[in-house]
Structure 1
Amino acid sequence: MLSAAFRSQPEDFQVVEIDSFAAHGEGEHLLLTLRKRGLNTSEVARRLAQWAGIGEVGIGYAGLKDRHAVTTQRFSVHLPRRVSPALAALAGDPLEIVDSAWHNRKLPRGALAGNRFTLVLRQVQGERSAIEARLQAIADRGLPNWFGEQRFGRGGGNVNQALAMFGYASPSQEPAPPCADVPKRRVRREQRSILLSAARSELFNRVLAARVADGSWERGLEGEVWMLAGSRSVFGPEPCSDTLARRLATFDIHPTGPQWGQGELRAQGVCAALELRVLSEADGPALRAGLEAAGLKQERRALRQQAFDLRWTWLDGQTLELGFALAPGSYATALLHELGPVREANRSA
């Protein structure tokens, strides 16, 4: 559809968290809304801990944000004596204080209503009318809810690292029972969480790819499990009746795919058969066994996401600005994936 360069500079990827609650106004946690450039969330958390003279466990944030961007997000800092160090000592390029307020508890992961994005694509090649028609289709129909490449590490290597952590030297190995005595690569707790997420996300993306190929990612299958929009609440399996079709058309519900773990697969019938077939190919059994052995539980994730308030503006003949909002846990790069090959420019890390 188009080809373009992306992230030529951090300002080409701007993200603003959409808050899910207002500050309480009192308490021993200082809520800071910070705008950062060229820093990831973990780096800011370390700076905040040093500034406050506390351990990093006292820093809270709702979601992880990329280094190669300009992002605005909330952090909480635990200050039990309610004495805040000088904010001036914290502010300064590349960190700007947007707002501060007291709150009565630590900011937990996932405590946001979504994210609003402004993306700039440069050196755009393609027919303008076709590009705009594709954008309108995304606005009308939604788009596949892929996990983004950042979930998989540099060169996608997190999945192979997860296999090594599970005790599989190569994808060709037969999976061993979870209790088997197999050599496993030892990793730090933080790295373990990253690798488990990568393995789980890889399996979900494989199922989503199969659903995109057969066109069922936006309409559901026999034996489908459905998710209510704006929540993690699921129901079904339930066939797609006229009532469900109307709810599907208005983005009230979405078909789902598996977040693998222990327990019985919730999908049934045709839907379950597709999921089990896809996840029995290549290294799928090894990844499934590793996730089960790690104690993760079966969950579901929406196969479709809505791009809220999608708009676009041509800044010049080859520069396109996109603005939209996504629900928590959805990736802006999934939208770019639907437009065509978009290469990252001048990304050093």
Structure 2
Amino acid sequence: MSLPHAHGGPVAEASLKACPEDFQVFECMHVTPEGEGEHLWLEIEKTGWNTEDVAMWLAKAAGIHRLSVGYSGLKDKHAVTRQWFSLHLPGKVDPDFDWPEGVHLMQALRHRRKLNRGTHRANRFVIRATHFCGDADLLEARLDAIAAQGIPNYFGEQRFGRGAGNLVRGKEWLMGGEAPRKKALRSIWLSAVRSDLFNQVLAERVSRGVWNRVLAGDILQPEGSRGLFMADDDAEAAARVISGEVHPTAPMPGVAGMASSGPCRQLEQQILAPSQAVIDGLCREGVDEIRRATRLPVQDLQWSLQQDQEGENTLQVAFRLPAGAFATTVMAELVRSPEPSA
């Protein structure tokens, strides 16, 4: 679906991901390996590899089970990404790896614990948009608005698979169609479906101008926290949302959990009503409803516009986002990218 923009739509045209170096991602870890323990933590820079393929290669090269390899989050294949992995090596020396092309070791340290999913709190992005064509003053004004107000916390299109295939197959399955043949596909399809339902609710809030404003009956989430509380229980809720201290949330549907009320609940039910059969399928699969913030703060935002000898302009943007957020949603507020050729 075409998602409404919060700040008026892109102000320029540019090419994104012309090469892997145009999209760089760096994990921001809050855990520092202690230097001793049964787990070897490896900071790896990869290009042309997805995270799971690196994990499988490490397990084979170290002679350990795949489940003995940990990582915090999934990173793009078609990008230059730096992330941590851990290998459980009790009583074993550090392996002498023969690193394949596209995988580079940055540092190796021992730690007492395995690296689990969701350990890192944020990612730092450096993105180049080549063949930039647009007005620099409009671009600066848009970047200032994003830095001050954030953007809608949409799930990016990569969440839904190529051609939204995971979303389509997930909906068909939940409405009585063919189930995923592989266990790993189950969570991927469920995630795609729930993310789409969240995007639908958020899109309506953006259209109504309340993606960054409190509604009566809202459920709010403090910045940097996973906790939730009812907006109606806080007399200062509206002011705290405007200041960015807390954010409104929208549902990722499943078995009923903490429910909104009043006007907020009415809006959510109105948007989700046509998808009730899919939501019933989510409940049959035992998926619990969770809430996700509707606003995404874009932190440490920096940018530059450079021109090469041929007169081609390149926009470089750097920023930090919390884990689970999508850099493509930031770029969608800035530039429109031509459709890739077949």
Residue 248 of structure 2 corresponds to residue 247 of structure 1:
no
After TM superposition, give the deviation of residue 264 of structure 1 in Å.
4.4
Q: How many residues align?
A: 328
Residue identity matched to 2:280: A
1:29 matched residue in structure 2: 39
Residue 139 of structure 2 corresponds to residue 131 of structure 1:
yes
CA distance in structure 1 between the aligned counterparts of 2:13 and 2:72, rounded to whole angstroms: 33
2:3 matched residue in structure 1: none
CA distance in structure 1 between the aligned counterparts of 2:81 and 2:35, rounded to whole angstroms: 24
Deviation digits for residues 274-306 of structure 1 (CA, Å, limit 9, x no counterpart): 11110112xx11221121111111210000011
Residue identity matched to 1:307: V
- Per the normalisation by structure 1, the TM-score is 0.90
Distance 1:312 1:26, change over 3 A: same
How many percent identity over aligned positions? Answer: 41
CA distance in structure 2 between the aligned counterparts of 1:152 and 1:321, rounded to whole angstroms: 27
CA distance in structure 2 between the aligned counterparts of 1:2 and 1:327, rounded to whole angstroms: 26
Distance 1:106 1:344, change over 3 A: farther
2:314 matched residue in structure 1: 319
CA distance in structure 1 between the aligned counterparts of 2:305 and 2:265, rounded to whole angstroms: 44
After TM superposition, give the deviation of residue 165 of structure 1 in Å.
2.1
CA distance in structure 1 between the aligned counterparts of 2:69 and 2:291, rounded to whole angstroms: 29
Residue identity matched to 1:78: H
Residue 99 of structure 2 corresponds to residue 105 of structure 1:
no
After TM superposition, give the deviation of residue 220 of structure 1 in Å.
1.7
Segments of structure 1 that go 5 or more residues without pairing to the other structure are 170-183
Residue 327 of structure 2 corresponds to residue 332 of structure 1:
yes
CA distance in structure 2 between the aligned counterparts of 1:199 and 1:118, rounded to whole angstroms: 29
SS at match of 2:279: helix
CA distance in structure 1 between the aligned counterparts of 2:290 and 2:188, rounded to whole angstroms: 17
After TM superposition, give the deviation of residue 188 of structure 1 in Å.
1.0
1:174 matched residue in structure 2: none
After TM superposition, give the deviation of residue 40 of structure 1 in Å.
0.8
Asked if 2 retains the 8 angstrom alpha-carbon contact of 1:167 and 1:185, the reply is no
CA distance in structure 2 between the aligned counterparts of 1:122 and 1:202, rounded to whole angstroms: 29
Residue identity matched to 2:278: L
Distance 1:296 1:188, change over 3 A: same
Q: 1:11 aligns with which of 18, 21, 46?
A: 21
CA distance in structure 2 between the aligned counterparts of 1:53 and 1:230, rounded to whole angstroms: 38
1:266 matched residue in structure 2: 259
Matches for 1:1-349 after TM superposition, within 5 Å? 1-87=11-97, 89-90=98-99, 92-169=100-177, 184-238=178-232, 241=235, 243-264=236-257, 266-281=259-274, 284-316=275-307, 318-343=313-338
Farther off after superposition, 135-144 or 155-164? 155-164
CA distance in structure 1 between the aligned counterparts of 2:272 and 2:116, rounded to whole angstroms: 32
Residue identity matched to 2:266: A
Segments of structure 2 that go 5 or more residues without pairing to the other structure are 1-10
Residue identity matched to 1:254: H
Cα RMSD (Å) of the superposition?
A: 1.7
Residue identity matched to 2:188: I
CA distance in structure 2 between the aligned counterparts of 1:142 and 1:81, rounded to whole angstroms: 48
CA distance in structure 2 between the aligned counterparts of 1:343 and 1:189, rounded to whole angstroms: 36
Residue identity matched to 1:75: F
CA distance in structure 1 between the aligned counterparts of 2:303 and 2:227, rounded to whole angstroms: 32
Asked if 2 retains the 8 angstrom alpha-carbon contact of 1:8 and 1:344, the reply is no
Deviation digits for residues 66-110 of structure 1 (CA, Å, limit 9, x no counterpart): 0010000000111122322114x23x5311111111111211110
After TM superposition, give the deviation of residue 344 of structure 1 in Å.
6.7
Asked if 2 retains the 8 angstrom alpha-carbon contact of 1:221 and 1:239, the reply is no
Asked if 2 retains the 8 angstrom alpha-carbon contact of 1:220 and 1:240, the reply is no
CA distance in structure 2 between the aligned counterparts of 1:119 and 1:322, rounded to whole angstroms: 5
Asked if 2 retains the 8 angstrom alpha-carbon contact of 1:144 and 1:212, the reply is yes
CA distance in structure 1 between the aligned counterparts of 2:74 and 2:141, rounded to whole angstroms: 32
Deviation digits for residues 236-278 of structure 1 (CA, Å, limit 9, x no counterpart): 142774x334432332211000011102451100001111110
Residue identity matched to 1:268: S
CA distance in structure 1 between the aligned counterparts of 2:224 and 2:193, rounded to whole angstroms: 25
CA distance in structure 2 between the aligned counterparts of 1:191 and 1:334, rounded to whole angstroms: 25
Asked if 1 retains the 8 angstrom alpha-carbon contact of 2:23 and 2:80, the reply is yes
Asked if 2 retains the 8 angstrom alpha-carbon contact of 1:6 and 1:345, the reply is no
CA distance in structure 1 between the aligned counterparts of 2:292 and 2:77, rounded to whole angstroms: 26
Distance 1:65 1:344, change over 3 A: farther
SS at match of 1:254: strand
